[in-house]
Structure 1
Amino acid sequence: MALLVVLGGGESGVGTAILGQKVGFEVFVSDKGEIKDKYSKVLEHFEIEWESGQHTETKILNADLVMKSPGIPDKVPLVQKLVENGVPVISEIEFASKYTDANLIGITGSNGKTTTTMLTHHLLLGGALNAGMAGNIGDSYAKMVAEQNYDHYVLEISSFQLDGIVDFKPHIAILTNITPDHLDRYEYKFENYIASKFRIAMNQEASDYLIYDADDPIISSWLNKNPVQSKLIPFSLKEKQQIGAWLDNNTIRMNVEHKTLEMSTDILALEGQHNVKNTMAASLAALLVNVRKETIRQSIQSFQGVPHRLEKVLKINHVEYVNDSKATNVNATYYALDGIKKPLVWIVGGVDKGNDYSELMPLVREKVKAIICLGMDNSKLKEAFGNVIDLMVETYSMEEAVKVAYKISERGDAVLLSPACASFDLFENYEDRGNQFKSAVKNL
């Protein structure tokens, strides 16, 4: 019996272990950290062998196949040893896709991928299609393949997951945008990160589709130099497209595979230009899988949005509190600063991923009246904005940050948590950070 070793006992790892066992592998799960109770209980239930707090190298190097959790960098010595020994090291999406014939819609990009994934799934369900949503969001894709029988999967896919693919091929790929992110994992070379994102299309054929932002100069120039096999379906806010989606004054127009669709931007439940783009991408995918036009229009109006992404929490003394904890990079924060039309008290900071804050400067000068730093090391933020903003306060807990914001904000302001950084210095993850913000606001 072939041995499948799963490195990492989180959502994707445990899902892979369940599917691996089901399809006939001997499975061993190994996590250098602690495996959470909810996951170890599942492994016990399925009688899958596991260890935590260590990696037993002799056993791991004996593997026939290794699934590596996306959080483990490729340059970890154990992973390098596996590769040198000729053991294939793949990601969950690569493994799970071998065991399903479902139609795959894969969505990647630096920003907007969660919203686009949730909206695409919402449109497919609205069209009464039997569709699951997985990947970087919600439940494990491998676990779904093991336990459900969906006709379609809408997958949110990170660059780390794409780094571990060999044959993975979505029928419809969506690339929302590419801006510098996670450069610490790509030797601080932007071109390595771009190449990683484009792996989503590397196995696509002429019968497949790549939906992409034609306004994104990085995507356009890469496609000029590195043509793909799939049919290109661009969307744009700036220029009319022959095929794809474009904005005509206040109307979104679409034309794809002899289907046309028009809808007013007034019906969109989500605010902001970036959400017009997310809507275009999701609607194009829905048209390609034959969801009816009227259904798409109705579903667009009923979509609720994503938690921790420009989520309005409360209004206190005429001050709006907005949770944008999901903004873990500069570009996501740019959308937030750009989208809110009030004077801002901005809570920012965390683990810097090689950020360049200069693109935020015009918006900060125009809108931000005070900055509250929330991180263990705020030196880069102080360097970037210290001379521009009169009031800058350093804090080391969410409760403290929110109290300071409450003191310095005035009627008509907005207090915005949009960190532009990862959360791991003070929080478990961006959800934990956002939830702490919401409860601190509610306790004011």
Structure 2
Amino acid sequence: MEKKARIVILGSGESGVGAAILAQKNGFDVFVSDFGAIADKYKEELEEKGIAFEENKHTEELILNAGEIIKSPGIPDKAPIIKKIKEKQIPILSEIEFAGRYNKAKTICITGSNGKTTTTLLTYHILKKAGLNVGLAGNIGYSFAKQVAEENFDYYVLELSSFMLDNMYDFKADIAVLLNITPDHLDRYNYEMKNYVDSKFRIIQNQTSQDHFIYCADDPETIAALDRHQINAERHPFSITNKVENGAFLENDTIYFNLNNTEPLTMTIQELALQGSHNVYNSMASGISAKILELRNETVRESMGDFKNVAHRLEFVAKISGITFINDSKATNVNSTWYALESMSSDVVLILGGVDKGNDYSMLRNLVKEKVSSIVCLGLDNKAIHDAFEDDVEIIVNTKSAAEAVEVAYHLAKKGSTVLLSPACASFDLFKNYEDRGDQFKAAVREL
């Protein structure tokens, strides 16, 4: 095969290596560059495929001669190499955009500030249980590009972050899901909420009247932005406060799925595997996707009743001496912690803290007053937490390790209480990432 143009891939994680494999398969001259060290498993994969790479540096003469750059979503636009690429006007795209050029399968694409991992996994679970030939990719699972190169799925369920959407241009979702929009990652959007909202709305770009757009009719940022964006797809709202048409709504603890030209489906919220109002929203979004695909009502009902949630998201760890321990380490922003607290019914000892992204804790105050007996801080700088809650909670204790936090929380909790790790912060002050924080929390609980 004659060599095509040169493609350079920045970042050598799951998405970068997957993009390299797909690019090589399609005859491109491929080079992978990572400013950090490349993990052994990815290095072995690149070597096995004979793909050129470098680590711990970006060599400009090997990068700035590219026809296109595929960028890891974690690399910010202010990175020096990105500025130089932009100066040379070399197109920058995401792995998803690149893979989309070669993908023939139908795509269900899910974004939102909160709940997208749960909704993506639930949607995938429903489709798989229905017997569809379906892949899982994006911000979760295996690389979309690698699967397009090596698999032959009929459907993909893709979790898409705003960072991924920012470098997507011609890609089209057959079914686009927008769960909610709350302030997050605003440092990447010049601290302008409108920029972040517009990034999320890229999920509907290139859609036609044959496609579908599922969105939360109760989310103020989403509703405010609807008129600002051209929506060509068929709309499917969902709500827990009002009846809606061609979507899903909650009434008297029963969810009604009423989509045009499909058999209606009803489910009580008690039948759902996922509890809490935020998970009613997630279940509605997944259920609408399933109804669009005309899956059997019985399959949808069963799947939403037997689903097991993702690790580190409201994950039950253990019950010790009548005290329940819940790992919600994936809650890296205030809104996620609000959802976690909202789903709690018992007296809560809340473990909070880490790297604060300019958090506004005021939205938690009512729930903290109502449900939280004490707060255990897990971070190097806990001043903002003390300032926010010193009038609402009698006991606020500082700790500097997962083991110490669990030990203190255990002694503060009473029989029937819940110890909830839901930090509302990033984890990088004391841990490698939120998974490491959650794993250390679980290990400490099991040591009690």
- Within 2, Cα distance between the matches of 1:423 and 1:6? 27
Counterparts of 2:162 and 2:359, CA distance in 1:
17
Maintained 8 Å contact 2:237/2:245: no
2:4 counterpart of 1:7 = no
| Matched residue, 2:139 | 136
What does residue 360 of structure 1 align with? 364
Residue 40 of structure 1 pairs with residue 37 of structure 2: no
**How many angstroms apart in 2 are the aligned matches of 1:364 and 1:3?**
54
Q: Distance in 2 between matches of 1:160 and 1:34?
A: 22
**2:410 & 2:306 partners in 1: Cα distance?**
33
Partner SS for 1:342: coil
C-alpha separation in 2, matches of 1:295 and 1:412: 35
Matched, 1:217 2:220: yes
Matching residue of 1:386: 390
Q: What is the CA-CA distance between 1:190 and the residue it aligns to? A: 1.3
Moved more, 368-377 or 103-112: 368-377
How far, CA to CA, are the matches of 1:317 and 1:429 in structure 2?
A: 30
Q: Which residue in the other structure is 2:296 paired with?
A: 292
Is 1:67 the counterpart of 2:66? The answer is no
8 Å Cα contact 2:329-2:435 kept in structure 1: yes
1:146 to 146, 149, 152: 149
For 1:302 and 1:326, the matched residues in 2 are separated by: 22
Per-residue CA deviation, residues 135-165 of structure 1 (Å, 9 max, x unaligned), is 0011111111111000000000000000111
Partner of 1:121: 124
What is the DSSP-based 3-state SS (H/G/I as helix, E as strand, rest coil) of the residue aligned with 2:331? Answer: coil
> 1:294 & 1:343 partners in 2: Cα distance?
36
C-alpha displacement of 1:382? 2.1
Which sections of structure 1, spanning at least 5 residues, go unmatched?
A: none
Structure 1 position 91 matched with structure 2 position 94: yes
Q: 2:202 aligns with which of 196, 199, 206?
A: 199
> Following superposition of structure 1 onto structure 2, how do residues 171-250 of structure 1 map, counting pairs within 5 Å?
171-250=174-253
Tell me if structure 1 keeps the 8 A contact 2:238–2:281: yes
Aligned ranges 1:379-418 → 2 under 5 Å: 379-418=383-422
Q: Which amino acid in structure 1 is aligned with residue 361 of structure 2?
A: Y
When structure 1 is superposed on structure 2, of 426-435 and 384-393 the one drifting more is: 384-393
1:427 to 426, 431, 446: 431
Greater alpha carbon shift after TM alignment, 122-131 vs 261-270 = 261-270
- Per the TM alignment, residue 281 of structure 1 is displaced from its structure 2 partner at its CA by 0.6
Unaligned runs of 5+ in 2: none
Q: How far did residue 425 of structure 1 move?
A: 2.0
Task: Find the counterpart in structure 1 of residue 349 from structure 2.
Answer: 345
Shift of 1:204: 1.2
Distance 2:19 2:277 in 1: 37
Deviation per CA, 1:24-79, whole angstroms, max 9, x where unpaired?
Answer: 11111111111111111111111111111111011111111111101100121211
One-letter amino acid of the structure 2 residue matched with residue 188 of structure 1: Y
User: Residue type of the partner of 2:249?
Assistant: W
Between 403-412 and 92-101, the greater mean CA deviation after superposition: 403-412
Letter in 1 for 2:372: V
Q: Distance in 2 between matches of 1:337 and 1:242?
A: 30
Deviation at 1:369, TM superposition (A): 1.7
Kindly state the Cα deviation for residue 437 of structure 1 after the two structures are TM-superposed: 0.6
Helix, strand or coil: the match of 2:376? strand
Q: Distance in 1 between the 2:446 and 2:322 partners? A: 15
State the shift of 1:407 in Å. Answer: 2.1
2:331 is the alignment partner of 1:321: no
Query: 1:230 Cα deviation (Å)?
Result: 1.4
Looking at structure 1, the residues matched to 165 and 23 of structure 2 have their Cα atoms a distance apart, in angstroms, of 20
What is the TM-score normalised by the length of structure 2? 0.97
1:398, distance to aligned residue in structure 2 (A): 0.9
**How far apart are residue 387 of structure 1 and its match?**
3.4
* Distance (Å, rounded) in 2 between the aligned partners of 1:313 and 1:142: 34
CA distance in 2, matches of 1:367, 1:119: 28
Q: Which of structure 1's runs of 4+ aligned residues deviate more than 4 A?
A: none
- TM-score, reference length from structure 1: 0.98
Measured after TM superposition, the shift of residue 266 of structure 1 is 2.2
> In 1, are the aligned partners of 2:179 and 2:215 still within 8 Å (CA)?
yes
C-alpha separation in 2, matches of 1:408 and 1:222: 44
The one of 112, 116, 125 aligned to 2:115: 112
Contact kept in structure 2, 1:9 and 1:31, CA below 8 Å:
yes
Instruction: Tell me which amino acid in the other structure corresponds to 2:276.
Output: G
Deviation of 1:388 (Å):
2.7
Candidates 161, 169, 173, aligned match of 1:170: 173
**Residues 351 and 420 of structure 2 are in contact (CA less than 8 Å); yes or no, is this contact kept in structure 1?**
yes
Distance (Å, rounded) in 2 between the aligned partners of 1:179 and 1:335: 12
Residue 447 of structure 2 corresponds to which residue in structure 1? 443
Give the aligned partner of residue 305 of structure 1: 309
Q: Which amino acid aligns with 2:87?
A: E
- Residue 350 of structure 1 aligns to which amino acid in structure 2? G
State yes or no: 1:375 paired with 2:385: no
Farther-moved stretch of structure 1 (106-115 vs 202-211): 202-211
Count of equivalent residues: 444
Identity %: 55
CA distance in 2, matches of 1:348, 1:303: 28
